[in-house]
Homo-oligomer: A and B are copies of this chain.
Amino acid sequence: MENVSQDREDRIDASRDLIDGYLEEKKYLLARDELVQFKAPDIAEILEDVSDDKGLRMTVILFRLLPKDTAVDVFSYMSADDRVNIIKEITDKETDFIVGELDFDDKIDTLEELPANVVNRILERTPKNERKQINTFLNYPEDSAGSLMTPEFVSLKKHWTVPEAMEHIREVGTDAETVYTLYIRDDAWKLIGVVPLSALVTAPEGTRVGDLMRTEYVCEYVTADQETVSADFKKYDLLAMPVVDRERRLVGIITVDDIIDVIEDEATEDIERMNGVVDLDNSDRGYLDISVWQHAKNRLPWLLILMVAYIFTGMIVTGFENTLSKLPFLIAYIPMLMGTGGNTGSQAATLIIRGLATDEVELGDWFRVLWKEIRVGAVVGALLSVFNFARVLIIDGQSVMTAVTICCSIILIVIFAKVIGSMIPLIVKRAHLDPALIANPAISTVSDSVALSIYFFMAAIFLHL
């Protein structure tokens, strides 16, 4: 599909080739001139590519040649790893400038990633008031509202008129994260209302802020989980949200651009957990930035748990060993029956886990879910067994009773796997855990054991073993 993004990407790719050429000829200023025509997020992306291809040194050279304001902006769009690397390479004076000019929330993000000794050195050179504020923010738990917010909001006085309010916004607005929502506090700093800028702009001049103020607004405590915050943004279509402490004093605001990142990170976390990858060091680093050891550590917990489960699966098979050695053709269907159980189980689990995450399914719906999955399982199982009846008789040339054994097994396996796959996430949720944590591998392993037991039971009935 043709689109404007594509034009932009093409232009960036063309420039990248030019920049690569300039860098090889050491024409750094020409490379810089090529770079500055783009927006900060694009420059950040190009610099990351340069550091992948030509090493960090080249990125640092280019970065230091950027106009100072652009450099700060670009810095805020870089990945955590790149920020740390750049800080390590530039002078203290350059660091102070960048850290000083960053938006408050980007400043906190950066400091959180840096080694403690570097942070301390930066803080020593920071004015005392700001140092105190930074330390407070650094202490909010990761994934809390406190760690997402910025103190750079604009507050108005209740008794101000519209022109007075507009004058105040003109004065302080450029340093704020947003001027589109304005906050009204009482003398004890307690939040008493919010005014959208649109209301101010469209109000008659004589109106007072207090008359425009909305006293019913959505806010959260600093300790609220970021998932709760993003659920509020989704439900109430917010652009920004005030964050308050226990005494309902306004301490910061969260803006929608940071929430978009949260929604994406939460989806990534769910997807990974559902497929048995646990992010043990809880980093937001990308796949390529995670070391081999960390990757192995993230993937081992579930595999090891499953190894224990397979000891039981092994026992089920061993208990049936004699029969299988008498009727060895039965072995050929084990992979199909196990696989079908695992796959249908994880289909059901996926739908329920995602439904719970997006609030489309609730705990109280458990019976409706159960009844729906039993019926879906019966329909799916019946259709799959028609296919397999033909396969066993025609392709494999086995007896009718063998075909009946396989088909009855399939129907029961699919129904059981759907029930297991849909109920386990609800039980886990009931225990106040993340349903995504009981990953699909676990569900398919449970389904495996159930599938084998059903198979051997059916064989005993129909083949008189």
A residues whose Cβ falls under 8 Å from a Cβ of B = 1-5, 8, 39, 41, 145, 166, 169-170, 173-174, 178-180, 197-198, 201-202, 216, 218-221, 223-225, 228, 231-237, 239, 244, 256-257, 259-261, 263-264, 267-268, 270-272, 274-277, 286-288, 292-293, 295-296, 299-300, 302-304, 306-307, 310-311, 313-315, 317-318, 321-322, 324-325, 328-329, 331-336, 338-340, 342-344, 346-347, 349-352, 354-355, 358, 360-361, 365, 368-369, 372, 375-376, 379-380, 383-384, 387-388, 391, 395-396, 440-441, 444-445, 448, 452
Q: How far is the CB of A308 from chain B (nearest CB, A)?
A: 9
Pair A361/B288 contact, Cβ less than 8 Å: yes
Minimum CB–CB distance from A414 to chain B (whole Å) comes to: 8
Closest 7 CB pairs of A and B: A286-B360, A3-B224, A310-B336, A267-B267, A275-B350, A237-B257, A296-B379
Identify 24 residue pairs between A and B in the complex whose beta-carbon atoms are under 8 Å apart, listed by A's number.
Answer: A3-B223, A4-B219, A5-B220, A5-B228, A5-B231, A169-B201, A178-B198, A197-B198, A234-B260, A239-B239, A260-B260, A260-B263, A275-B349, A288-B360, A296-B380, A303-B343, A306-B340, A310-B335, A314-B332, A317-B335, A324-B325, A324-B328, A339-B342, A440-B440
Per the bound structure, the CA–CA distance linking A113 and B256 in Å amounts to 29
Q: Which residues of B contact A350 (CB under 8 A)?
A: 271-272, 274-275, 277
Q: Which B residues are in CB contact (< 8 Å) with A259? A: 260
Q: Is the CB of A395 within 8 A of B311?
A: yes
A455 → chain B, closest Cβ, in Å?
Answer: 11
Q: Are A354 and B268 in contact (CB under 8 A)?
A: yes
> What is the total number of copies of this protein in its complex?
2
CB <8 Å contact, B303 and A448 = no
Instruction: Tell me if B332 and A317 are in contact (CB < 8 A).
Output: yes
In contact, A343 and B276 (Cβ under 8 angstroms):
yes
Measured in the bound complex, the distance between the Cα atoms of B199 and A180 in whole Å is 11
A387 touches which of B197, B218, B307 (Cβ 8 Å): B307
| Cross-chain contact of A376 among B224, B295, B314, B388 (Cβ < 8 A) | B295
Task: Let me know if A292 and B376 touch, CB within 8 A.
Answer: yes
Let me know if B307 and A351 touch, CB within 8 A.
no
Of the candidates B231, B239, B329, B346, the one whose C-beta lies within 8 Å of that of A275 is B346
The CA-CA distance from A397 to B123 in the complex, in Å, is 62
- Say whether, besides A5-B231, A325-B325, A347-B276, A334 and B355 are in contact (CB < 8 Å): no
Q: When A220-B5, A340-B303, A343-B302 are in contact, do A41 and B235 touch as well, CB less than 8 Å?
A: yes
Known: A306-B340, A307-B391. 4 other contacts (CB 8 A): A39-B218, A256-B260, A307-B384, A346-B440
Q: Knowing A39-B216, A310-B339 touch, does A292 contact B379 (C-beta < 8 A)?
A: yes
Give the docked Cα–Cα distance between A269 and B298 (Å): 25
- Bound-complex Cα distance A346 to B3 (A): 33
- Which B residues are in CB contact (< 8 Å) with A387? 304, 307
Report Cα–Cα, A329/B387, bound state, in Å.
31
A239: B residues at CB distance < 8 A: 180, 239, 256
B275 touches A347 (CB 8 A): yes
Residues in B with CB closer than 8 Å to A257 are 237
On chain B, the residues within 8 Å of A375 by CB distance are 292
Cross-chain contact of A179 among B39, B201, B263, B287 (Cβ < 8 A):
B201
**From A383, which residue of chain B is reached at the shortest CB distance?**
B300
Assuming the A-B contacts A288-B361, A299-B347, A300-B383, are A1 and B391 also in contact, with contact meaning beta carbons closer than 8 angstroms in the complex? no
User: Are B342 and A444 within 8 A (Cβ)?
Assistant: yes
| Complex CA–CA separation, A196 to B322 (angstroms) | 78
